[in-house]
Amino acid sequence: MTLACATLTTILNTIPHSQACPCAELKVPAGLSESEYSGKIGLAFAKTAEYRKEFDEAIASAASVISKHNGEKYLAVVSDIDETILDNRPFFEQHDEFKWDDFFAWVEQAQAPSLKKSTDLLARARKDGIAVFLITGRMEKLRKGTIRNLVRNNIAYDGLYMRPDGDKSSASEFKSGIRKQIEDMGFTVVVNIGDQFSDLEGGFAKECAKLPNKMYFIK
């Protein structure tokens, strides 16, 4: 069973860093600010049992949502990339201070490991005939490095949508616009998976699965 956001918040009795819920109920918890996020804070959190529990629960919830739609046609799953299926913790371990040029170089190296629970879920969905669309805030200029990294980790997908170079729209505007395009093609997005609330806001998905990430906060 998928817990509604409000229920989950009550159970955790804290600011949730992971959620699974109908997208219409998704709420960015009040009081979240970028200052609560950093590579150091996030790396420490990612080594805790709480992080693993939140991650596993969100993926289990997404799997349960997918199974509810068993046998239906023209289904899709949408997934973010960074900290959702590719793990940039090795980059943050090496860089105390975030600089975009360093991150671009890391993407070109295509060495990020996969987050196996998520990639297994996407692989199972595709095996069951569900389309997998990746929507990332990574810019188009990073497409080759991104694809190399996905291929290296055997991550298959049906579409890879990247932010146009120079695009200044917010992450939620960009990503919800692409989900609208996907639904306009005739797909029903049954679940949208991401580590940022901005991956999930804006509709065009039945349910959302929020993975934990305290390394950074993207509006």
Instruction: Output DSSP code: residue 114.
Output: B
Query: Which of 54, 57, 87, 195 touches Mg ion by CB under 5 A?
Result: 195
- Least gap, CB of 130 to Mg ion (angstroms): 21
Q: Encode burial over 160-173: b for 16+ CB neighbours within 10 A, e otherwise.
A: bbbbeeeeeeebbe
Angle at 154 between CA 152 and CA 155, to 5 degrees: 110
- Least gap, CB of 99 to Mg ion (angstroms): 18
**80 binds Mg ion, rule: CB under 5 A:** yes
Residue closer to Mg ion by CB (options 2, 84) is: 84
**57 binds Mg ion, rule: CB under 5 A:** no
Residue closer to Mg ion by CB (options 61, 136) is: 136
- Least gap, CB of 83 to Mg ion (angstroms): 4
Q: How many Cα atoms are found within 13 Å in the side-chain-facing hemisphere of 77? A: 31
Residue closer to Mg ion by CB (options 57, 195) is: 195
Looking at residues 173 to 192 of the shown chain, list those that interact with Mg ion (rule: CB under 5 A). none
**201 binds Mg ion, rule: CB under 5 A:** no
Taking Cα atoms as reference points, which of 102, 111, 158, 165 lies closest to residue 135?
Answer: 158
Which segments of 13-69 are extended strands (E)? 19-22
Name the site residues for Mg ion (rule: CB under 5 A).
80, 82-84, 195
